[in-house]
Amino acid sequence: MEFGKISFIAAKQAEAQMALKRLKKRYGAINVENASIIVALGGDGLMLETLHKYMSLGKPIYGMNQGSVGFLMNEYKEDQLVNRLENAVETSLHPLRMIAIDKDNREHQALAINEVSLFRESRLAAKIKILVDDVEKMSEVICDGLMVATPAGSTAYNLSAHGPIIPLGAELLALTPISSFRPRRWKGALLHQGVTVSFKVIQPQYRPVSATADFVEIRSIKKVTISQDQTISLNLMYDPEHNLEERILNEQFQP
């Protein structure tokens, strides 16, 4: 692959835009369609946006941190960029496909790289039934919400909700409750990535619930089905010493 054909994309923040100008001047500017690789300058939010926007092109994406957290990004360095790209390690991710049915029986579909989450819309707690491969596992969870997270997303919202961190090669998904009231001690489950998870909202008119797949939110849903879409591969590039799998592993040993 010719890594000299780089398309640069940057977040709107001033620091990222200044970096964009310098890198374009130094390495040239090619439009996304003709590039061999996309270099994203920003934080994790920009990386997710870039992955979603250019998913259909199948081009590898290399991120450099010009944001706050930058868990999905490489260190920002302007020197020897082509050499870094040539030596980068590729990580392939498969997104989750969410199919949501709203209270008017309309179907909505969206893809999630990090997680699909359900959350109550009112002052009342949500009541949700959980099925795995059409088999009922919990008849009722009373909670603020529930989520299904990918390994790549397990260190994001899932971790904030006290869900488990999942190594990339584990082929697992995290099913994590958000402020579960009943059953009070239930901490969620680890599921094989090949399963289909279904959430059915109990009393959806009285206890409204929304469903969100990364950036796409559907309001007033009554059922959500979530499964990993193996037909779609997202290719992220990382410096060998800071690859995504190592970062997820190291995150488990943070004090």
Q: Is the pTM of this model over 0.85?
A: yes
Q: Give the pair of three-digit tokens for residue 142.
A: 């009373």
Q: Band the pLDDT of 1: cuts 50, 70, 90.
A: low
Tell me, what's the pLDDT at 67? 80
Q: Does domain 6-93+233-251 have CATH number 3.40.47.10?
A: no
Tell me, what's the pLDDT at 69? 75
Tell me, what's the pLDDT at 248? 83
CATH classification for the domain delimited by 96-228, as one of 2.60.200.30, 1.10.1740.10, 1.20.1290.10, 3.40.50.1100: 2.60.200.30
Q: Any idea what the Cα angle at residue 169 is, between residues 163 and 173, rounded to 5°?
A: 35
Given a cut of 70, whether residue 174 has pLDDT beyond it is yes
Contacts of 21 (CB under 8 A, 6+ apart): none
Mean pLDDT of the chain: 93
pLDDT tens for 53-80 read 999 998 999 999 998 778 889 999 999 9
Given a cut of 90, whether residue 42 has pLDDT beyond it is yes
pLDDT tens for 224-254 read 999 999 999 999 999 998 778 888 888 878 7
Q: Band the pLDDT of 169: cuts 50, 70, 90.
A: confident
The bridge status of strand 115-120 relative to strand 126-132 is unpaired
Tell me, what's the pLDDT at 2? 65
133 belongs to the catalytic site? no
CA gyration radius for the chain?
20
Report yes or no: 172 and 198 within 8 Å, Cβ to Cβ: no
pLDDT tens for 176-225 read 999 999 998 899 999 999 999 999 999 999 999 999 999 999 999 999 99
Alpha-carbon distance of 225 to 227, in angstroms, equals 7
The catalytic position among 44, 102, 144, 239 is 44
Report yes or no: 129 and 223 within 8 Å, Cβ to Cβ: no
Tell me, what's the pLDDT at 255? 72
Give the start-to-end residue ranges of the domains of the chain: 6-93+233-251, 96-228
Given a cut of 80, whether residue 112 has pLDDT beyond it is yes
Give the whole-number percent of the chain exceeding pLDDT 90: 84
